[in-house]
Amino acid sequence: MTKEPRFHLFVQLILWCFAIPSYAQKESNILDWKTDVSLNTFLVQQMHLKYDARRVDLNKALTTKANTLAYIQSVKQKFKTVLGTLPQKADLAPQLTGTIQKSGYRIEKIVYQSFKNHHVTANLYVPDGKGKFPAVLLFCGHEDLAKATLSYQQTAILFAKNGFVVFVIDPISQSERVQLTDETGKSLTRGSTTEHTLLNLSSNLLGTSVAAYELFDNVRGLDYLLTRPEVDPTKIGCIGNSGGAMQAIYFAAFDERVKIIAPCSYLASREKTLATTGAADGCAQIPNEGAAQLEMSDYLIAAAPKPMLVLAGRYDFIDYNGTLESFEDLKKVYQRLATPEKLSMFTYDDGHGISKPKREVAVQWFRKWFYQDNRSIKEEELSTLSDKDLFASTKQKVSLSYADEINIAERNLQLFNEKAGSRQAFAQSTAAQRKQKITNLLGIVPNPDPLEVEKSGKLKYGHADVIFNQLILRRKNEVPLPVQISYPRNNPQKIVVWLGDDVKKMDSLKAAYRSKASEEVIIFVDLRGTGETTDKAELNDPKYFSKDYRNAMLALHIGKPLLGQRTTDVLNVMDMISMDEKLKNLPIEINSIGLVGLSVLHAGFLNPHIHQINLYQCISTYQEVLNQPLVKDRYSAVINNVLSNYDIPDLVNWIGIGKVQFMQ
């Protein structure tokens, strides 16, 4: 069918939904269990398998010191692999934009470049007296004030008053570094966690992440710190709170120059967190960590046996039992390396944050190892400043202060263009090579188990005397799929499949379609995470701008992106058709509504027996995502690093341009 008639029919069907009774809606569910947890349950089970294997490997590593050291090296290598390629370093071009003299120390307002035309704002606390001093990188959590947050100022001041240079760095999306703004510098999102998540989505398409960008900014911060004559380059530590602690955890595994690490209010069990509360915002995890069997504690294990202090609140919303589990991993490693004295944990009976008791213990720990002084530290009343006092950029926002500023969204567009050559090279590889690479990117593993088609019943729709057979497609280690299929009165000449977020429940559409298509077999399918198996809305925080965020992030974590899993579902529908003698030789047309169309495209590439693909309301290039970072509900479209290999138009070319139609 040509584009125009099919499009008009689609519009007619939607309109007819209001004209035909919908009493069958409540009866249209096929699966007879609490289906809204099915996909998440499946993903959690798959994740547990990864971490079960990781526990076996760690226990084996702990049998000897040599094995433990080998495990540490393997973690470092795995991290570099999942991290991807970092930007090219630019000239730091540091600027000192102001100095505030305080009692016993001064605060310098610093701006530096990490990559070209991307500016980082920070405050440098320098003790009075002659150096060289030990230095501490202080990584901020998600407070909008970032470096000006009261507890971070207090932490920096306490360190400075006890003989440390302290560099407090504003993270991406916070304070002066909001990335998505209007022309006045006002944020276009609801806060840093939202912006982190939206920027992370487009970054993942290019094989990077917000976590990687933050890590790079912090590495460049250390590069700057080592240019300062007041700093002893052999005595560098880092401390971070909340999201800043996750930055410190990643930093510990990456940068050998850091000698002491102290994460506060974040270390927990990645496995437990993802299985219960779900993924945090986009700066707190990197795709394929679970596939690489990397637990949160592994990043700190990678820094062993450097002195390490874990700070925790017993009543933190960060799972304290998970903190204890991770600390137990660390204890075993430090014991095997015969350095248990270099590991410590301080828990205070409070909640989230780097409170006064935690700050005092942290400074004491750093002085113990850098000054060989283990005396107790007592914090007196400290004089702090306003965020305006501490701003480092001239107009209080880097987006306004630098005419050539490149934000992360723009950087990702640059990367997209830079990777055009690699996509072209991939297009010139053999069909078999492309198929293997795309299968790997989708996380699809051949499943030798047979497909089972279970008959569940029949449903009659409206007054049109339309019968749909209800089926359940089952394959071991896959989420069961509910299917409805209607056969024509005459001999079938064609198979038409409909997919979307909830097409199976569009009962009136089915009745209308059946009356218009007398020679077509009509199939409606809920792919996993759609229709009957749609995740609960309340389990996906709206600040993440994605209705299937927790499942999409968990899927990326284990190396099985939702798009790839739904491609498997489409291929299973094709297998179902091929098993039916009456249907297996008929031409197949697949119609999709929304982003599930990307799964249809990938299935069309992997299975040439799909004759026609009609995509309604689907993006036609991933560049649309890069150009529109504020659009909601696109995490299910993410394939990590896809744009280093191909874009949607490439898939269309390989399938055959005449076989694919995009229709809005």
pLDDT in tens, 387-436: 999 999 999 999 999 999 999 999 999 999 999 999 999 999 999 999 99
Q: Are residues 209 and 314 in the same domain?
A: yes
Is residue 319 one of the residues assigned to a domain?
yes
What confidence score (pLDDT) does residue 512 get? 57
Is residue 657 one of the residues assigned to a domain?
yes
Is residue 205 one of the residues assigned to a domain?
yes
DSSP string, 38-63: HHHHHHHHHHHHHHHHHHHHHHHHTT
pLDDT over 90 percentage in the chain: 90
Q: What is the largest CA-CA distance in the chain?
A: 94
Separation CA 642–CA 640 (nearest Å): 6
Domain span at residue 8 reads 3-48+448-663
Predicted confidence band of residue 664 (pLDDT cuts 50, 70, 90): confident
> Other C-beta atoms within 10 Å of 463: how many?
9
pLDDT in tens, 551-603: 999 999 999 999 999 999 999 999 999 999 999 999 999 999 999 999 999 99
Q: Are residues 158 and 226 in the same domain?
A: yes
Is residue 160 one of the residues assigned to a domain?
yes
Does 483 have pLDDT greater than 60?
A: yes
Distances (CA, A) of 74 to 42, 61, 247, 250, 327: 28, 11, 20, 15, 20
> Other C-beta atoms within 10 Å of 60: how many?
12
Instruction: Please tell me the total count of domains within the chain.
Output: 2
Is residue 381 one of the residues assigned to a domain?
yes
Q: Are residues 301 and 402 in the same domain?
A: yes
What confidence score (pLDDT) does residue 460 get? 79
DSSP label of 446: -
Distances (CA, A) of 379 to 53, 76, 104, 362: 45, 37, 14, 12
Q: Are residues 179 and 42 in the same domain?
A: no
What confidence score (pLDDT) does residue 545 get? 96
> Other C-beta atoms within 10 Å of 146: how many?
28
Does 464 have pLDDT greater than 70?
A: no
User: What is the average pLDDT across 291-310?
Assistant: 98
What confidence score (pLDDT) does residue 193 get? 97
Predicted confidence band of residue 12 (pLDDT cuts 50, 70, 90): very low
Does 6 have pLDDT greater than 80?
A: no
Please return the burial class of 376, using the count of CB atoms within 10 Å of its CB with bins 0-12, 13-18 and 19+. Answer: exposed
Contact 316, 351 (CB under 8 A): yes
Separation CA 658–CA 469 (nearest Å): 32
Q: Are residues 127 and 260 in the same domain?
A: yes
Is residue 55 one of the residues assigned to a domain?
no
Sign of CA dihedral 188, 193, 197, 200: positive
Edge-to-edge strands of the sheet including 452-461?
452-461, 466-474, 481-486, 520-525, 494-499, 588-593, 610-616, 660-663
Residue ending a domain, among 371, 403, 418, is 418
pLDDT in tens, 20-45: 333 344 457 899 999 999 999 999 99
Predicted confidence band of residue 60 (pLDDT cuts 50, 70, 90): very high
* Token duo for residue 378: 């007592």
Does 239 have pLDDT greater than 50?
A: yes
What confidence score (pLDDT) does residue 463 get? 54
Q: Are residues 19 and 128 in the same domain?
A: no
Predicted confidence band of residue 10 (pLDDT cuts 50, 70, 90): low
Average pLDDT, the chain: 94
pLDDT in tens, 129-181: 998 999 999 999 999 999 999 999 999 999 999 999 999 999 999 999 999 99
User: What is the average pLDDT across 461-474?
Assistant: 81
Is residue 585 one of the residues assigned to a domain?
yes
What confidence score (pLDDT) does residue 24 get? 41
What confidence score (pLDDT) does residue 16 get? 38
Is residue 56 one of the residues assigned to a domain?
no
Q: Are residues 210 and 282 in the same domain?
A: yes
What confidence score (pLDDT) does residue 423 get? 98
What confidence score (pLDDT) does residue 19 get? 36
Q: Are residues 235 and 353 in the same domain?
A: yes
* Token duo for residue 465: 């005397």
Residue 226 corresponds to which amino acid?
L
What confidence score (pLDDT) does residue 517 get? 57
Does 605 have pLDDT greater than 50?
A: yes
Q: Are residues 410 and 464 in the same domain?
A: no
User: What is the average pLDDT across 104-109?
Assistant: 98
Question: Rounded to two decimals, what is the model's pTM?
Answer: 0.95
Q: Are residues 190 and 310 in the same domain?
A: yes
Q: Are residues 399 and 512 in the same domain?
A: no
Does 547 have pLDDT greater than 80?
A: yes
Which helix H or strand E contains 286, and what residues bound it?
none
CATH of the domain at 398: 3.40.50.1820
User: What is the average pLDDT across 59-86?
Assistant: 98
Q: How far is CA 476 from the centre of its chain?
A: 27
Q: Are residues 413 and 452 in the same domain?
A: no
* Token duo for residue 271: 């496995």
